[in-house]
Amino acid sequence: MRKIILFLLLIKFCSIGYSQIIRGTIFDKSDNSKIKFASIYLNGTFVGTQSDLNGNFELDISKNASMPLTISYIGYYSVTLTGFSTDKPLLVYLTPKIYEMDEIVVSSKSLAMRRRANLNLFKNVFLGTTTNARNCEILNENDITFNYGSDRDTLKAFALKPILINNKALGYKITYYLDRFEYHKKDRSLLFTGNMIFNEDFAVEATHKQLYERRRKNAYLGSRMHFFRALWADDLISAGFKMKNPFGYNLNYNDVVEDIHQDIPGSHPKVLKYSEELSILYYTKLSNIVFLKEKVNFNSDGYYDQSGASISWEGEMMVQRVGDMLPYTYSIK
């Protein structure tokens, strides 16, 4: 009996040792009031919670400890935290979104056709134009508005509330917190930032499970997530990828990756660094990475640093937008 008790105590001790609970409080930066029902989550996953009536929260991040923590709320810009500690509670301050009203207040009669055109363009750019993207439905289109100023070349989209997406192709429901969206029509350049959490997985239903899994596998193969996972594992060739410099010469793992935590066992962030444009071939499909930051952190699950416009994509991977995104917990069945 004594041995059983000692064994159970050992199990409890080990589970506590590996458990990583992050705690904190969410505040409004403008008046220091506490924000209730804010969303606290790991971007691109199902892992998340909400702050309580006093703005407090706690979240178990044990399985995704290397990922940044994102905090979002209706009418506020999201905050993403990296390098935080679980030793003491976090104090997080959110900044209210303030838009120029002459940009977003429109007459529904005079600008109905223009809004329809802007909305269609926004969905094509935001969700993408792939088969998966075309099978996505934005459930709250009326919460998205656009600039109607003199600059007709640039489409700006605003959303005080999170954008709710039903991806009928891949079988997910998603909440997307849009912070910035600018699309320049002339040169087709795009800048949009935001964060997303996956809410529902429809593949739990046996009748549609195989269909969803097949579509997800097709979306994954050759994707950014697939590339970064293979790069982290130094397994590009067997995964079907090749990297080349602007002169067409092959590059290998050591040419572009810094592993500053190589002495740490298990999963940890690595750094992608290259001084020129990087070409990526997935069999015959070509993509390019243009570095906007000197270094870009990425993880074994395929997550990479998307803050501050770290990377600009061209080619095949550029067309992969929200409609083709998978949670970072995804694995091929």
Judge whether 182 and 146 are in contact, CB under 8 Å: no
pTM for this entry: 0.86
For 44-83, the pLDDT digits (tens) are 999 999 999 999 999 998 877 778 899 999 999 999 988 7
- In whole angstroms, what is the distance from residue 92 CA to residue 59 CA? 14
Q: What is the pLDDT, as a whole number, of residue 19?
A: 58
Return the closest-CA partner of residue 293 out of 314, 317, 271, 320: 271
DSSP state of 11: H
- Residue 165, strand partner residues: 138, 174
Strands of the sheet containing 56-60, edge to edge, are 56-60, 21-28, 90-94
Return the closest-CA partner of residue 285 out of 250, 241, 251, 246: 241
SS3 category, 116: helix
Name the strand (E) or helix (H) holding 311.
strand 311-315
Quickly tell me which residue has 């990377």 as its tokens: 311
Which residues have CB under 8 Å from 34's CB, separation 6+? 25, 26, 27, 28, 51, 54, 55
Every domain of the chain and the residues it spans? 2-94, 101-201, 221-324
pLDDT by 10-residue block (mean), the chain, 333 residues: 44 48 94 96 94 95 82 93 84 86 51 86 95 96 81 85 96 95 86 91 82 95 97 96 95 93 72 94 95 90 80 89 95 86
Q: What is the pLDDT, as a whole number, of residue 131?
A: 95
Q: What is the pLDDT, as a whole number, of residue 17?
A: 41
Q: What is the pLDDT, as a whole number, of residue 10?
A: 40
Dihedral (CA of 302, 235, 210, 329) sign: negative
Q: What is the pLDDT, as a whole number, of residue 204?
A: 78
For 117-167, the pLDDT digits (tens) are 899 999 999 999 999 999 999 999 999 998 865 557 889 999 989 999 999
Judge whether 187 and 209 are in contact, CB under 8 Å: no
Q: For the residues of 282-296, what is the DSSP string, one character each?
A: ETTEEEEEEESSS-E
Q: In the CATH scheme, what is the code of domain 2-94?
A: 2.60.40.1120
